Amino acid sequence: MVSTSSSHDQKSEGSTMAPADANVNKVQIAGEGGEFVIINNHKYYRHDLMAAFGGYLNPGATPYPKININPAPVGLSGFALTTFVLSLVNAQAMGIKIPNLVVSLACFYGGAAQFLAGCFEFVSGNTFGFTALTSYGAFWLSYAAIFIDSFGILKAYEESDQLADAVGFFLLGWAIFTLVLFLATLKSTVAFCSLFGFLFITFILLAGGELSGHVGVTRAGGVFGVITSFIAWWNAFAGTATPLNSYVTPVSIPLPGNVMFREKRH
């Protein structure tokens, strides 16, 4: 144990020994709304540092210690994977036409996980994220319910030719809802707006395929669904990748009227 006086004498004698954190500056918060974090004279956006912080499951350095989890990538990833698998079935890739395998994804990843992500968006105060993620989580849960025998949905249509039209109405309703969300993204970014634009086209084509009975229209909807899933994954990646944990970070391309980017230019 070294006394404080001894330490003082060592410092006064010009000792080369220094504390391990001698070169580390104090973390500072800057900006009108505290949106910047300064570490070692380097300025970072607070959301860039915290975008990939997921409790203790963190793939990169997170110098700023405050916990601020972004739930959107989980919801987007669940939506993307479930959409990807179902869209391949709709496109009849490898000759597969039976969609029952998607029920497992629709219940747990695209459904429950996405719905919970939406609930966390509610906690964070993101109205759009809460609306979108909980709604599409409920979509996948309701889609899975169609194929679960205990709900009796398919059984009710066994002796009727109304199932395709009923599913068409179901998908058409979701197309209208997606259009509403699409209109709310016209001042965001290209990737974010494209997600809902392609999803709207996907729902329209799938609804048209069910209502018209043309398999080609449904297969086209499957192709657009695959594209939509990759756009969703890209947006999820944009929510997790930062200069601290990835060599590749997505570039956000603003749409006309994007207020945040306009303020940055000024």
**What are the pLDDT digits (tens) for 84-117?**
999 999 999 999 999 999 999 999 999 999 999 9
Q: How many helices (H) and strands (E) does the chain have?
A: 11, 3
Count: domains in the chain: 2
Taking only the tens place, the pLDDT of each residue in 183-217 is 999 999 999 999 999 999 999 999 999 999 999 99
pLDDT band at 161 (very low <50, low <70, confident <90, very high): confident
Last residue of a domain, one of 51, 67, 83: 67
Q: What is the pLDDT, as a whole number, of residue 18?
A: 45
Instruction: Tell me how far apart the alpha carbons of residues 198 and 208 are, in angstroms, rounded to a whole number.
Output: 15
Do 99 and 154 lie in one domain? The reply is: yes
Inside any domain, residue 210? yes
223: Cβ–Cβ under 8 A, 6 or more apart, which residues?
A: 87, 91
Instruction: Tell me how far apart the alpha carbons of residues 12 and 15 are, in angstroms, rounded to a whole number.
Output: 8
Element (H, E) at 212: helix 190-212
Inside any domain, residue 247? no
Inside any domain, residue 5? no
Q: What is the pLDDT, as a whole number, of residue 14?
A: 44
Inside any domain, residue 9? no
Inside any domain, residue 245? no
Q: What is the pLDDT, as a whole number, of residue 110?
A: 98
**Domain hosting residue 134, numbered range:** 72-238
Inside any domain, residue 43? yes
Q: How far apart are the first and last CA of the chain?
A: 57
Element (H, E) at 265: helix 259-265
Q: What is the pLDDT, as a whole number, of residue 66?
A: 53
Instruction: Tell me how far apart the alpha carbons of residues 219 and 225 are, in angstroms, rounded to a whole number.
Output: 10
Do 165 and 224 lie in one domain? The reply is: yes
